[in-house]
Chain A
Amino acid sequence: MDQARIANPLTAGWLRLGVGVLAMVALYLPLFPSLAKEWASFPSLSHGFAVPPIAGYLVWKQRREIHKLAISPSWGGFPVVMGGLILYTMGTLGGEPFLARLSFPLTLLGTVLFLGGIAVAGEVLPGIGYLFFMIPLPYTTLKGLTEQSRLIDATVAAAVLPWLGVPVFQEGFLLRLPNITLEVADECSSIPAIAALLALGAAYGYVSGRPRAIRLALLVSAVPLGLMSNLVRIILTATGAYYLGPIALHNVIHMWNGATVFLMTLGALMLLDSSLLRLQVNIQRSAVSL
Chain B
Amino acid sequence: MRIIDHSLLVLLGLVGLTGLAITLPLGEGQPRLAAPIDALPQQFDGWVAVEGVPEEILPHDPRALQAVRRTYTKEGHTVHLVVARYPSRNHPEGRPSLNLIAPERGAIAVQHDLLWIPLDGVPGRMIPVQRLLLKRPERPISVVYWYQLGEETIAGHYRFRLALFLDTLLFRRREVLLVRAATIGSERPEPFLWAFYPRLLKILSS
A residues in contact (CB < 8 Å) with B: 11-12, 15-16, 19-20, 23-24, 26-27, 30, 73, 78, 81-82, 85, 88-90, 92-97, 111, 114-115, 139-140, 143-144, 147, 151, 171-174, 183
Contacts and interface: CB of A to CB of B under 8 A. Distances in A.
Interface of B: 1-5, 7-8, 10-12, 14-15, 18-19, 21-22, 24, 26, 89-92, 94, 98-99, 106-110, 112, 135, 157-158, 161, 164-166, 168-169
B18 A95 contact: no
What secondary structure prevails in chain A residues at the interface with B? helix
Given A11-B1, A93-B24, A139-B98, A173 B11 contact: no
Contacts of A151: 109
A172 B3 contact: no
B157 A93 contact: no
A81 B168 contact: no
Contacts of B107: 172-173
Given A96-B90, A140-B161, A143-B98, A23 B22 contact: no
Shortest 6 CB-CB contacts between residues of A and residues of B: A172-B109, A95-B90, A172-B108, A12-B1, A92-B22, A94-B169
B29 to A, nearest CB: 12
Given A16-B3, A172-B135, A95 B14 contact: no
A96 B165 contact: yes
Given A95-B168, A147-B110, A173-B109, A19 B158 contact: no
A27 B15 contact: yes
Nearest to A93: B169
Contacts of B4: 16
